[in-house]
Amino acid sequence: MKKYFHGGIHPADGSDKLLSNQVPIRVYTPKSVEISMKQSPNGFSKAIVKPGDKVSKGDLIGVPANFSAANVHASVSGTVKDIILAKDNFNREYEIVVIESDKEEDMISNIPEREYEKKLVDLSSYSKEEIIGKMKEGGLIGMGGAGFPTHIKYETKEVINYILINGAECEPYLTCDHILMKEHGYAIINGVLLFVKAANAKKAYICIEDNKQDVAHELENIISGKNLPIEIVILPTRYPQGGERQLVEAVLRTEVPAGELPSSVGTIINNVGTAKAMADIVLGGVPVISRLVTVTGKVNTPCNYLVPIGTRYSELIEQSGGFTAEICRVVEGGPMTGNCLFIGNNPKDLKGSVAKNTSGLLVLEDLPKSESPCIRCGECERVCPAGLAPFKIDFAAIEGNINLCEKLYATECISCGCCSYVCPAKRELAYRITEAKNEIIRIRRERGGK
Amino acid sequence: MKLKVADQLHDVGPHIRMNRTTKEIMQDVVIALIPAFLGSIYFFGIKALILVMTAVTTCVISEYIWQKLRKEPLTVSDWSAVVTGILLAFNVPATTPVWAVMVASVFAIIVAKQFFGGIGSNFANPALMGRALLLFLWPASISGYVSTYHAGADAVSSATVLGLYKSGSQISQFSKWDMFIGNIPGCIGETSKLLLLIGFAYLCYRRVVNISTTAAYILTVLLVTFIFSGEGLFKGDILVNLLSGGLILGACYMMTDYASVAPRVKVTLAVIAGLITAGIRLWGMLPEGVSYGILAANCLSGLVDNLIKPHIYGVNVKKSK
């Protein structure tokens, strides 16, 4: 039986992924890195080094400053050159640690042969507490994009039955998870087994969309006949298949109650990249200091890069041969939920660097757009995975009627962008609904605070 | 909450969009209506061409003037007024005076569409509102049905097949094939079911409309008239009800109107429209009930939308293990 979630779209035809999923991984090690102390949308860490300090690869350089943050480690060996203060879109300040590498070193050439990359290793000596402790120590956060610290998920008081490993990679253009599953099957399976131990779960499902059958078969071969608590689930290719609520709906045939976390239905969801990093931390002794990043779209040579955390985006564009469109829109992450970093034609103006949750750097041609009146075709309502009526919430948001937005369940929006994608009037539905949702949450918090 | 407007919105995501616009949708509807338009000229001659052109021009010009006078953003280039014009002309017989079509067009665009906020905000189908206006004010202007050029004689006054069927008169002079291809008296755009269905198939192929609403409407009308329109229960003539009136035109092009039919509950509304249409055909004063059936469903759209609650992900879902 095919496993479906409600709503969703087919935003691409597969050619977008072909740009980068047949090209071998390139390893790139920059001379200096800019490691941000804001590694996820709401996680702020505090630097514990100062300019002039010598650091080695893997040294702790930042500690969490708030609930959603995790440890940050040096991704290259060298000297701390500078600590820059930066501000995000919401005007929140954070530090960026600039480290200059002191030796010409390749990211992977001097790494010893790793046993867990080649076979399933014996994990019986690891206890639940030990694994969760290492997650925290190694700075493990959701590598799929949300960037929430993994150890917090596992410290839940709920009973966890299932782990869903998200290998759907439903965003168009991105292929880093696909490549990761292709290259690091054993490490991922070892990581998943660690997750199962950490949660005392009954079973883990590795969820893969049917446009990546090749890796599904490879992973199947690794686990077959070994009586492991792992099942590979093939899902139809449909965006937003990788949304955690949608995965729960499609795989476990149940829904996560509104306002609750997936743990309320006994489930934890992790990305395949997180599973690989888990294995690296526990079995390889390396914290999260590198990742695969898809650089694709309007660049000369689209490719997946293995880079240290903190690699400047401008260097990645340069490595890929520069822009190929007149005016480019550079997006951090996937095209549906990613964040527009910059619009222009000179890659040197591109700010920012690879964070632990950076899945891709996407360059698109910047096209003009303008909104026209809603014609009430109902497409947005049909594709909304949450079952909302986006056009109604949009009207309410424009009127500033927050109460109506709340009645229309704007809070249940998952910001997947399907509504804006299909809208023939090109209305910015997802943007305004997300703003309304944030406003409602802010008001609720204020009320709760009184 | 402070929302970005106009230019500031340029960088918000998602960063890829489906390449379909309002204009393309409206153009698709116009393309779909072309076969029936050509058919109307074939069956009713130059009068049909004049009526369609008059309606389209009047609709477009009144929308343009209204938006200019009100200093609103011009949306007249989105082709929706063209669609309204064509549908309005399709809904009147060939003998309708040109002035009546012009009045109906102005009413459809200004009162039925712009008074309620323009494209997307009209509570009822503008073309049907235009027709309803004529039915109220000058019923004689749109009741002069004539036979087609190809019925063996020159255009002569004739009642519609549906009218004859309702009054129990002889209808055997009209074959089912003539009804299907459009060689019968009627409104200029409604008679050729074949050409309307070709256009509708195109709209389905282009995914502008979904067949469910159309099917629900037609099946409801057919079911009810099958049960009650014959002598005794379950003896009604399905084909006459299907092919002789405006059912196909209404089901394919009016019931599927976006703005006036709440999308989520459109099938329910189609069933309601079908019941009312069949009711009018069976027990009402008029032989035809399509326009009032759809207009009634348009008026109930908001209510039905409120009564049938959507399922929101995770709402009213219990925690479970």
pLDDT band at A193 (very low <50, low <70, confident <90, very high): very high
**Is the CB of residue A336 less than 8 Å from the CB of residue B14?**
yes
CB contact under 8 A, A335 and B16: yes
Nearest CB to A388 within list B4, B14, B312:
B312
Domain annotation for chain A: domains and CATH numbers: 15-23+109-284 (3.40.50.11540), 30-105 (2.40.50), 379-449 (no CATH)
Q: What is the reported pLDDT for A105?
A: 66
pLDDT per residue of chain B (321 residues) written in tens, 0 to 9: 889 888 889 999 899 999 999 999 999 999 999 999 999 999 999 999 999 999 999 999 999 999 999 998 888 999 999 999 999 999 999 999 999 999 999 999 999 999 999 999 999 999 999 999 999 999 988 888 888 877 655 557 778 888 888 888 888 888 889 899 998 999 999 999 999 999 999 999 999 999 999 999 999 999 999 999 888 889 888 898 899 889 999 999 999 999 999 999 999 999 999 999 999 999 988 888 999 999 999 999 999 999 999 999 999 887 765
CB contact under 8 A, B319 and A257: yes
A340 is in an annotated binding site: no
A384 is in an annotated binding site: yes
CB contact under 8 A, A329 and B11: yes
Q: What is the reported pLDDT for A110?
A: 53
CB contact under 8 A, A412 and B313: yes
Residue of A329, A334, A304 whose CA lies nearest to A316: A304
Q: What distance in Å separates residue A194's CA from the closest CA in chain B?
A: 22
Q: What is the reported pLDDT for B84?
A: 97
CB contact under 8 A, A329 and B310: no
Model confidence over A17-68: pLDDT tens digits?
A: 999 988 999 999 999 999 999 999 889 999 999 999 999 999 999 999 999 9
Nearest CB to A245 within list B1, B262, B313:
B313
CB contact under 8 A, B14 and A409: no
Chain A interface mutation, best of B116, B313, B321, highest count of A Cβ atoms under 10 Å: B313
- The whole-angstrom separation of Cα A387 and Cα A408 is 10
Model confidence over A331-352: pLDDT tens digits?
A: 999 999 999 998 998 988 899 9
The 3-class secondary structure across chain A, one letter per residue, is CCCCCCCCECCCCCHHHHHHHCCCCEECCCCEEEEECEEECCEEEEECCCCCCEECCCCEEEEECCCCCCCEECCCCEEEEEEEEEECCCCCEEEEEEEEECCCCCCCCCCCCCHHHCCCCCCCCCCHHHHHHHHHHCCCECCCCCCCEHHHHHCCCCCCCEEEEEECCCCCCCCHHHHHHHHCHHHHHHHHHHHHHHHCCCEEEEEEEHHHHHHHHHHHHHHCCCCCCEEEEEECCCECCCCHHHHHHHHHCCCCCCCCCHHHHCEEEEEHHHHHHHHHHHHHCCCCCEEEEEEEECECCCEEEEEECCCEHHHHHHHCCCECCCCEEEEECCCCCCEEEEEECCHHHCCCECCCCCCEEEEEECCCCCCCCCCCCCHHHHHCCCCCCHHHHHHHHHHCCHHHHHHCCHHHCCCCCHHHHHCCCCCCHHHHHHHHHHHHHHHHHHHHHC
**Is the CB of residue A38 less than 8 Å from the CB of residue A67?**
no
Give Cβ neighbours of residue A311 (< 8 Å, ≥ 6 apart).
A28, A30, A33, A293, A305, A353, A354
Tokens 């002191």 sit on residue: A102
CB contact under 8 A, A426 and B317: no
Contacts of B13 in chain A (CB under 8 A): 331, 335-340, 417, 420, 430-431
What is the pTM for the complete model shown? Answer: 0.93
Contacts of B317 in chain A (CB under 8 A): 254-258
- The whole-angstrom separation of Cα A323 and Cα A342 is 13
**pLDDT score of A316 more than 80:** yes
Q: What distance in Å separates residue A23's CA from the closest CA in chain B?
A: 23
- The dihedral sign for the CA sequence B148, B153, B156, B157: negative
DSSP state of B64: H
**Is the CB of residue B247 less than 8 Å from the CB of residue B241?**
yes
Q: What distance in Å separates residue B95's CA from the closest CA in chain A?
A: 33
Helix, strand or coil, per DSSP, at residue B236? coil
Q: What is the reported pLDDT for B251?
A: 96
- Residue A156 C-beta-side C-alpha neighbours within 13 Å: 22
CATH 1.10.3430 given to domain B22-307: yes
Q: What is the reported pLDDT for B155?
A: 59
- The whole-angstrom separation of Cα A26 and Cα A307 is 9
Residue of B217, B275, B225, B209 whose CA lies nearest to B250: B217
Residue A372 contacts B, CB cutoff 8 Å = yes
Q: What is the reported pLDDT for B154?
A: 57
Q: What distance in Å separates residue A338's CA from the closest CA in chain B?
A: 7
Contacts of B12 in chain A (CB under 8 A): 340, 428, 430-431
Q: What is the reported pLDDT for B147?
A: 82
- The dihedral sign for the CA sequence A117, A123, A128, A131: negative
- The whole-angstrom separation of Cα B180 and Cα A75 is 75
- Residue A207 C-beta-side C-alpha neighbours within 13 Å: 32
Q: What distance in Å separates residue A156's CA from the closest CA in chain B?
A: 14
* Amino acid, single-letter form, for residue B144: G
Question: Residue ranges of the domains in chain B?
Answer: 22-307
- The whole-angstrom separation of Cα B14 and Cα B17 is 7
Model confidence over A119-163: pLDDT tens digits?
A: 899 999 999 999 999 999 999 999 988 899 999 999 999 999 999
Touching B: A residues 283-342, CB under 8 Å: 329, 331, 335-340
Q: What is the reported pLDDT for B287?
A: 82
Q: What is the reported pLDDT for B63?
A: 96
ipTM score of the complex?
A: 0.92
Task: Find the farthest-apart pair of alpha carbons in chain B and give their distance in angstroms, rounded.
Answer: 78
Q: What distance in Å separates residue B94's CA from the closest CA in chain A?
A: 31
CB contact under 8 A, B314 and A259: yes
